[in-house]
Structure 1
């Protein structure tokens, strides 16, 4: 069983509540079974925007320090960006540059996940939703700039099936999994399906001219033989997962 849990924002809160260092919190979590971490809470790192959209969250320096500590302890993690609200191109570039720098230092990030802002049912509902063109541009820019990240994810439940499928030709190599029950985007009004079957994911990937490959959380190939399965080698970015 692989447990991926707790964003840096949450780890920072645990540190505040327990009055213990971040490293102590992470070590306690690892003893309890924590195996890797998601990349949530990144939003936009630049303080000019962060103060507008998430002023009460941990700042970018804290976000990076938690990931640095996690990587130094041997934990792998993901990273995200939330785009399509008040930020400008320069803020997105700044965000990617900061991630690239830490990856050069630690090598602990597994994948980068661009997340489009969903304005419906939020306090910023007057903002238009990011276009499909912007979605693809962000994916492509991420692949070019984050050359030290092995994987770029086109999160189908946020992008929609067709845009995510197209993103496989714009630098993405991961669609995410079947997903059973997603709340964040659907609570905000998303109309995408809450889950896809394995067969549906295979079809999307095959239609895009890519080879479907099943992976585990650490991006290792899952090899199935009837009812039996095993973990194979790490997946190269030329496949889609």
Structure 2
């Protein structure tokens, strides 16, 4: 380890904030295991509890129709494609019912940018879900969708968010973040929200008292500096609002996309980037492992590279699966992965509140499980 890298890692472990240049230096030069040790130390400082968490939810894609053209997406369809769909309401409610029966308390509901669905359609959808399942949190509508709603309805962003919240929207996912640098976004997509507007959806939602998550899909056409710029923009937003509950990153899955010629980033790059996200995002409390794209073993190792959460049971996932990456874990496998890492598994909600039974004696619970 160079003296420069060693000094940067020592400072961040002790609680000093990384600069942009520090982040780039670590991403370019630091040894993977050195990064992992530092990220683990920071994670343990922020989360000294003997628990690592997971949640049970379902990713429901209510439509695959999208007016945006994203070269990296294998899921979207045009409105007149034969396999374009909008889920029937009964089908969607059945999916939620199954989720609840499996112990879930939340749905992650996202879709494409549908050109014909009106604001009233979304409000009715939320009302229907909450009337049948009042206990279920709706973690729904990514910033690109929300921004699209403002264009279709010609309503201000705040009004759109107020109406969705009144109808039952509980929290916002961080989907559609990709890389929060306009050069990258313009090169990969057409007809989709740019960086400032993506961030502003979160900002206004936070001003309304809402919470949300942030994401990053990396390993495609971005530079290392642009990867750090993404983290910087998220950190600035969190400094301003404090409304982000977690950060989730994953590698681009090129199969079946218009960018299939881009070499897939591997687990080495994933662990390196996740570790740096834990070091850089000193104001974001939680980092999720991405076993959905990395597989169970790397997902488990991620708990030693800055993650304090194994993410979701993911009863259903369609977008990443469309690109050929299909990893599934049972609830027992997720809990076992956490236990094998030396922690006690606890179920949490989107706000990172424990919703399972309290563990009176952690040491006994760990040995018994």
Q: Which residue of 1 aligns with 2:271?
A: 136
Aligned partner (choices 153, 157, 181) of residue 22 of structure 1: 157
Tell me the CA shift for residue 128 of structure 1.
1.2
Give the 5 Å matches for 1:3-14. Answer: 3-14=138-149
Q: Whole-Å Cα distance in 1 between the matches of residues 326 and 155 of structure 2? A: 42
Tell me the CA shift for residue 112 of structure 1.
0.3
Instruction: List per-residue Cα deviations over 1:34-81 (Å, max 9, x = no partner).
Output: 110000111111122111112321110101111100000011000011
Asked whether 1:206 is paired with 2:356, we answer no
Bigger mean CA deviation after superposition, 209-218 or 163-172 = 209-218
Bigger mean CA deviation after superposition, 46-55 or 36-45 = 46-55
Asked whether 1:217 is paired with 2:350, we answer yes
Instruction: List per-residue Cα deviations over 1:78-109 (Å, max 9, x = no partner).
Output: 00111010111100000000110010000000
Q: Whole-Å Cα distance in 2 between the matches of residues 220 and 6 of structure 1? A: 22
Q: Secondary structure at the match of 1:130?
A: coil
Asked whether 1:103 is paired with 2:238, we answer yes
Aligned partner (choices 69, 81, 91) of residue 226 of structure 2: 91
If each structure's helix is expressed as a fraction of its own residues, which one has the higher value? 2
Larger Rg over CA atoms: 2
Unaligned runs of 5+ in 2: 1-135, 359-369
Asked whether 1:181 is paired with 2:316, we answer yes
Q: Which residue of 1 aligns with 2:281?
A: 146
Tell me the CA shift for residue 9 of structure 1.
0.7
Give the 5 Å matches for 1:49-88. Answer: 49-88=184-223
Provide TM-score, normalisation by structure 2: 0.59
Q: Which residue of 1 aligns with 2:249?
A: 114
Q: Secondary structure at the match of 2:357?
A: strand
Instruction: List per-residue Cα deviations over 1:124-166 (Å, max 9, x = no partner).
Output: 1111111110000011000000010010111211121111100
Q: Which residue of 2 aligns with 1:231?
A: none
Asked whether 1:172 is paired with 2:307, we answer yes
Q: Whole-Å Cα distance in 2 between the matches of residues 89 and 55 of structure 1? A: 23
Q: Whole-Å Cα distance in 1 between the matches of residues 322 and 356 of structure 2? A: 35
Provide TM-score, normalisation by structure 1: 0.90
Q: Whole-Å Cα distance in 1 between the matches of residues 217 and 326 of structure 2? A: 19
Q: Secondary structure at the match of 1:110?
A: strand
Q: Secondary structure at the match of 2:248?
A: strand
Runs (4 or more) in structure 1 with deviation over 3 Å come to none
Bigger mean CA deviation after superposition, 200-209 or 103-112 = 200-209
Tell me the CA shift for residue 223 of structure 1.
2.9
Q: Secondary structure at the match of 1:120?
A: coil
Q: Which residue of 2 aligns with 1:197?
A: 330
Whose RCO is larger (CA < 8 A, sep 6+)?
2
Bigger mean CA deviation after superposition, 16-25 or 40-49 = 40-49
Q: Whole-Å Cα distance in 2 between the matches of residues 191 and 20 of structure 1? A: 38
Asked whether 1:2 is paired with 2:112, we answer no
